[in-house]
């Protein structure tokens, strides 16, 4: 690749990378082509040019991945990942069985359509409004235009609810024309992950999914669960019906659906669904065609693989003898009872094995990195395409298990309170004789393919001196080769995006709302106030303690806000007769204040807020809030 045609300075695969990728070709059954056939089974129609375009621009573009048409992986892509990236190109409207259809490859997740009597049941309306609307439009172009009667969220991750306003309106939901159904704890889980930690997760997700990487053989090829995440507007409509019992059966548009709760698995709130007519079992995101995450690179509460395996086993026992087709909200279906039961059993064993063996080794005193280095799948699983680590990996999943039981601390007091990276980096560089000597030795290690250690040692040099261009470039080269070797799409994206930022710095993105107004409008009010609480800067709020009665007129809520020791807490359905002020506004105005569509002063001026008592305290609270910069440094201090 000539330098003038390679503005991102991407480099070719080194000999060690070529050798590693070639070796994998002999280890796995690449002559097995059944997945290629099944991923396209039932295909009806695709998007024109593989694109979704809206007034906001290009939302989705599979055309960027035409380079995957070649049969053989180039040296810059792990051949196993190349295979999965090709399979994830199957896109469009697919018939699964009578009355059950899926829209796949229009976003990272699938939208499942169940045709009922006089209406449709939609499961998981993708990530964004634009993607969901385009998916439903594609469906309507080839099937009867029945009205939507219900939207089901299988679980609490944004790619399974964010596009809801592309297929349903607030008005139709309020009027009872469309039911919105979700598992118990759904709204609490959405608030915890997407609101309180939303800014940091969004930044880290750039490394996991690689949306700023160019698609190509030296860039982003896949995301494991799908090609990537659709652009556009994230929305949310709160559920009108919550599944609370372990197993509930409901009839919707004359379709009988058995809901099977699976809390604390792939998401804090998740559920499976079984359609007795047709024998269709939907495992949501608990049985996908790869190894999933126990804790994704973007971050989350650590998931419980022991319970994950339990609910897989429970689903097998409850529904296995009646199941003819297995679907999920990612990837393609599985047909045939024997094949389905075998697949589910292997998924069950996969999650339980990593859990059990990690716990066994940690009880031998092994540390997280030591466990990750030696833990392997048993022979019966290792060559199975459906358990490969395209999204999660054995390495970082075992570390998540360790964290779940024993925390981040490995038990060695030397690691209990280490110096932060910038200070320790300076000391490492000094101890090792200076940056020049470190770089010289790192170049020698790079030449022999020791990319992991090159990145590890140059981390200290870069944190000691972020302006050391030579160290940054060599570290970028090492990360790039590690990305080319990675079987996990998320690891590849993280390594290559890290290399990009080391070479060019952090991208300057246009200003954007800190969170989706639709999301904030739907979550519980106490979550909104917790979001205020985590943004309070003690230096700005000062030492004054005060209490505010808050009255929200449109939601008929009352709350008592206490600011004490620079900390905000709240009590729902509570007011204090001696509060310093009583503030009355709509909940809509509260959301507008949080996303900075208005200010306290303007809202008072326009009579959207009324205050009895000390008028300046509400303004003091909002003036104390931190604004989070999305593109914070990760590769450098």
**DSSP-assigned states of every residue in 414-448:** GGTSPPPHHHHHHHHHHHTT-HHHHHHHHHHHHHT
User: What would the mean pLDDT of 583-609 be, rounded to a whole number?
Assistant: 95
H helices of 505-586, in order, are 517-522, 525-533, 538-541
pLDDT-derived band at 511 (thresholds 50, 70, 90) equals confident
Q: Which residue has the tokens 């890290």?
A: 498
Query: pLDDT tens digits for 452-488?
Result: 999 999 999 999 999 999 999 999 999 999 999 999 9
Query: pLDDT tens digits for 163-217?
Result: 999 999 999 999 999 999 999 999 999 987 778 888 999 999 999 999 999 999 9
CA distances from 35 to 31, 39, 304 (A): 11, 6, 29
Note the pLDDT of residue 120: 98
The domain segmentation of the chain, as residue ranges, is 41-397, 421-470, 524-623
Note the pLDDT of residue 192: 78
Those residues with Cβ within 8 angstroms of residue 310's Cβ, 6 or more apart along the chain or in another chain: none
pLDDT at 2 over 60: no
pLDDT at 4 over 70: no
Which region holds residue 272: left if phi is over 0, alpha if psi is between -120 and 50, else beta?
Answer: beta
Q: Which residue has the tokens 């909940």?
A: 587
pLDDT at 620 over 50: yes
- Which element (helix H / strand E) includes 226? none
Is the separation of the CB atoms in 462 and 471 below 8 Å? Answer: yes
Superfamily of domain 41-397: Metallo-beta-lactamase domain (3.60.15.30)
Q: Which architecture, in CATH terms, is 524-623?
A: 2-Layer Sandwich (3.30)
pLDDT at 384 over 50: yes
The average confidence (pLDDT) of the chain is 96
Burial label for 411, CB within 10 Å (0-12, 13-18, 19+), is exposed
Query: pLDDT tens digits for 530-589?
Result: 999 999 999 999 999 999 999 999 999 999 999 999 999 999 999 999 999 999 999 999
User: What would the mean pLDDT of 275-295 be, rounded to a whole number?
Assistant: 98
Q: If you write DSSP's letter for every residue of 307-321 in order, what string do you get?
A: HHHHHHHHHHHHHGG
pLDDT at 3 over 70: no
Distance CA 359, CA 513 (A): 42
Distance CA 50, CA 318 (A): 39
The model's pTM: 0.95
The percentage of the chain sitting over the pLDDT mark of 70, rounded to a whole number, equals 99
Note the pLDDT of residue 518: 85
């Amino acid at each position: 690749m000539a330098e003038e045609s390679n503005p991102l300075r991407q480099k070719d695969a080194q000999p060690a990378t070529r050798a590693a990728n070639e070796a994998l070709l002999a280890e796995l059954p690449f002559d097995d082509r059944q997945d290629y056939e099944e991923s396209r089974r039932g295909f009806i129609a695709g998007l024109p040019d593989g694109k979704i375009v809206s007034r906001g621009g290009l939302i989705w573009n599979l055309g960027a991945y035409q380079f995957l048409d070649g049969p053989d992986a180039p040296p810059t892509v792990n051949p196993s990942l190349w295979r999965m990236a090709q399979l994830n190109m199957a896109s469009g409207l697919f018939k699964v069985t009578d009355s059950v259809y899926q829209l796949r490859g229009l976003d990272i997740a699938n939208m499942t359509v169940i045709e009922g009597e006089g209406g449709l049941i939609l499961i998981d309306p993708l990530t964004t409004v634009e993607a969901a609307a385009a998916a439903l439009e594609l469906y309507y172009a080839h099937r009867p235009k029945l009205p939507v009667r219900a939207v089901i969220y299988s679980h609490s991750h944004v790619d399974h609810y964010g596009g809801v306003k592309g297929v349903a309106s607030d008005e139709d939901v309020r009027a009872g024309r469309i039911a919105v159904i979700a598992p118990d704890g759904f709204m609490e889980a959405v608030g915890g992950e997407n609101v309180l930690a939303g800014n940091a997760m969004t930044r880290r997700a750039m490394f996991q999914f690689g949306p700023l990487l160019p698609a190509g053989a030296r860039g982003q090829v896949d995301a494991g669960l799908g090609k990537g995440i659709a652009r556009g507007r994230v929305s949310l409509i709160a559920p009108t019906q919550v599944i609370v019992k372990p197993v509930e059966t409901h009839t919707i548009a004359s379709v009988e659906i058995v809901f099977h709760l699976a809390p604390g698995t792939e998401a804090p709130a998740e559920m499976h669904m079984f359609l007795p007519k047709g024998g269709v079992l939907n495992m949501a995101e608990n049985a996908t065609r790869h190894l999933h995450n126990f804790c994704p690179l973007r971050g989350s509460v650590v998931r419980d693989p022991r319970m994950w395996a339990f609910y897989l086993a429970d689903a097998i026992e409850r529904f296995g003898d009646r199941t003819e087709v297995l679907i999920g909200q990612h990837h393609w279906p599985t047909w045939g009872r024997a094949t389905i039961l075998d697949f589910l059993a292997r998924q069950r064993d996969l999650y339980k094995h990593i859990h059990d063996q990690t716990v066994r080794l940690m009880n031998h005193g092994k540390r997280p990195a030591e466990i990750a280095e030696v833990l392997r799948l048993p022979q019966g699983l290792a060559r199975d395409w459906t358990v490969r680590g395209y999204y999660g990996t054995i390495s970082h999943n075992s570390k998540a298990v360790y964290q779940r039981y024993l925390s981040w601390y490995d038990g060695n007091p030397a690691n209990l309170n280490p110096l932060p990276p910038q200070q320790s980096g300076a000391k490492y560089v000094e101890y090792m004789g200076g940056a020049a000597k470190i770089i010289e030795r790192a170049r020698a290690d790079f030449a022999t393919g020791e990319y992991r250690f090159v990145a590890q040692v140059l981390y200290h040099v870069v944190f000691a001196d972020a302006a050391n261009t030579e160290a940054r470039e060599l570290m970028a080269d090492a990360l790039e080769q590690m990305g080319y070797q990675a079987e996990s799409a998320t690891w590849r994206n993280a390594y290559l995006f890290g290399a990009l930022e080391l070479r060019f710095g952090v991208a300057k993105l246009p200003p954007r709302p800190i969170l989706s107004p639709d999301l904030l409008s739907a979550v519980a009010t106490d979550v909104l106030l917790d979001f205020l609480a985590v943004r309070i800067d003690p230096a700005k709020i000062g030492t004054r303690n005060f209490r505010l009665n808050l009255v929200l007129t449109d939601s008929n809520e009352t709350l008592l806000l206490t600011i004490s020791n620079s900390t905000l807490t709240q009590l729902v359905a509570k007011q204090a007769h001696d509060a310093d002020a009583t503030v009355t506004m709509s909940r809509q105005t509260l959301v507008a204040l949080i996303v900075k569509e208005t200010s306290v002063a303007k809202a008072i001026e326009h009579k959207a807020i009324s205050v009895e008592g000390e008028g300046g305290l509400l303004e003091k609270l909002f003036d104390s809030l931190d604004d989070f910069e999305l593109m914070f440094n990760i590769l450098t201090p």
